[in-house]
Amino acid sequence: MKKVGNHTSFSRIIMFCLAFSLSFSLSVFAQDAPPADAAVAAPAVADAGADAGAGDPVKGKELFNTLCAACHKLDAKATGPALRNVAEKHDREWLYSWIKNSSAMIKAGDPVAVKLFNENNQSVMTAFPQLSNQDIDNILAYTSQPAEVSAPTPVPGGVPVASDNGINNALILGALVLVLVVLIVMLALVNKTLKKVAAANGIEVEKPESSVSLWQAYAKNQFLVLVTAILLLLSASYFLYGYLMQIGVDQGYEPIQPIHFSHKIHAGDNGVDCKYCHSSARVSKHSGIPSLNVCMNCHKNIAEFQGDKDSTYVEYSKEFYTAEIQKLYDAVGWDKATQTYTGKQKPVKWVRIHNLPDFVYFNHAQHVSVAGVECQTCHGPVETFEIMKQHSSLTMGWCINCHRETDVKIEGNAYYEKIHDELAKKYGVTKLTAANMGGTECGKCHY
């Protein structure tokens, strides 16, 4: 009986077919998608009335954002009424007098002024005597502009049409799967036929000769067994030590909070100072969680997220952010329709992120006010965080390294001048680190 080697591997043929199918599918998907149909242009909106044409809406928008936006919105009630098309509701001369000095008109008993005053919780409007009639015309021109409405793309017949690209991809994937199945079946049949032909002709496929087991040869070598045992013991100790050292280290911890707060929008785009919200960091051991009253300082008049279509910080929809502001209103009991507090409050169960062990003492005021350490030094670039997380490891080694590398700022700080001069002479240096001034003593952080 003849013996031949198995030169044609069945697995190699299958791998070749898979590679060919994948290369074909990638070449198909690399083609450009067909251009989408152009959207139907929305009809032009009618121009504003003749009265609004007396002013410049561009200049009016600047004045509105500077002087009026704190208490008024265009399409919703805030501290004052909505101002969209206010020029059509009142006489222009009356508006001149009202904007320049509303209190005088109320005291004079003007019926329209008194009614407007009572309808808005008797909130006194700031007087703007510095505004000229032309400035007011500009503001009224801005408020008379029609609201922007983003119309959805019309669908023929009112029935959503599936994307042609999606249909083509599905068909191509189905065809590739079918081709792959046919190839596998064909190769199986060919392999079966070849075995029958070989058996009919008395050909036997040569099998490799049996050899000594590698495991048996290894077990007989005592030196290799000893070295392997030592290496396994050292490796296990190394990984066990690394695992134990990570217990309690929550670097990268990023919990979901009950109310979504974007540091990227507040501290980044709007430039809100960290210590405006975390004011206790200046004078207290803890930085503190800002009270909701601090939030309401701004959000009493910011009920809807405006955003900017050209900004890169908006990772969620405007509706999402507006809904989160509504959660704030529900928590403090604020009715944005009536601009009053209802008295029904709900506690917000914030999830704590930074948490040091009880045996560790850390004082924010000592670092922020005395040492002048920036918040980003420990908490990272929070102005880029959409969701707040623990940036640093906050381990003892991390703190000690900071004390060893950070020079003490003594400029304008009389607290350190005397001790700095004495220690500088002692160590023969001009700059002292926190470690030189006792920043690595155990009693500084453990008491």
201-229 pLDDT, tens digit each: 888 766 655 566 788 888 888 999 999 99
pLDDT given for residue 16 in this prediction: 54
Instruction: Say what the pTM is.
Output: 0.60
What's the token pair of residue 418?
């005397």
Strand 340-341 to strand 203-205: parallel, antiparallel, or no bridges (unpaired)?
A: unpaired
The residue assigned the tokens 């049996």 is 210
Q: Is 1 exposed, middle or buried (0-12, 13-18, 19+ CB in 10 A)?
A: exposed
pLDDT given for residue 348 in this prediction: 95
User: What whole-number distance in Å separates Cα of residue 411 and Cα of residue 392?
Assistant: 28
User: What whole-number distance in Å separates Cα of residue 266 and Cα of residue 273?
Assistant: 9
| Conformation bin of residue 272: beta by default, left when phi > 0, alpha when psi is -120 to 50 | beta
pLDDT given for residue 210 in this prediction: 56
For residues 261-288, average pLDDT: 93
Cα Rg of the chain (Å, integer): 37
Q: Is the pLDDT assigned to residue 349 strictly greater than 90?
A: yes
For residues 141-145, average pLDDT: 89
Q: Is the pLDDT assigned to residue 162 strictly greater than 90?
A: no
What's the token pair of residue 113?
């002024």
Continuous H helices in 279-407: 292-299, 318-332, 364-365, 375-379, 396-405
Residue 209: DSSP 8-state: P
Closest C-alpha among 356, 434, 348 to residue 390: 356
| Contact predicate 191/10, CB 8 Å | yes
Residues in the chain: 447
Q: Is the pLDDT assigned to residue 433 strictly greater than 50?
A: yes
How many CB atoms lie under 10 A from the CB of residue 141? 23
Q: What is the pLDDT of residues 292-326, one digit of tens each?
A: 999 999 999 899 888 765 555 567 888 899 999 99
Residue 271: DSSP 8-state: -
- For 203, 316, 394, the CA distances from 199, given in Å and listed in that order, are 6, 68, 73
Task: Please give the angle made by the CA atoms of 7, 8 and 10, to the nearest 5 degrees.
Answer: 135
Q: What is the pLDDT of residues 163-215, one digit of tens each?
A: 445 457 788 888 889 999 999 999 999 988 888 888 888 887 666 555 667 88
| Contact predicate 434/410, CB 8 Å | no
User: What whole-number distance in Å separates Cα of residue 71 and Cα of residue 78?
Assistant: 6
pLDDT given for residue 119 in this prediction: 84
| Contact predicate 406/418, CB 8 Å | no
User: What whole-number distance in Å separates Cα of residue 289 and Cα of residue 300?
Assistant: 19
Most confident of the ranges 17-26, 36-45, 56-65: 56-65
Estimate the share of the chain in helix, then strand, then coil, as percent rounded to the nearest 5: 50, 5, 45
Residue 53: DSSP 8-state: G
User: What whole-number distance in Å separates Cα of residue 442 and Cα of residue 361?
Assistant: 11
Q: How far is CA 200 from the centre of its chain?
A: 71
Phi, psi of 171, rounded to the nearest 5 degrees? -65, -40
H or E element in which residue 23 lies: helix 10-29
| Contact predicate 144/88, CB 8 Å | yes
Q: Is the pLDDT assigned to residue 236 strictly greater than 90?
A: yes
For residues 61-70, average pLDDT: 85
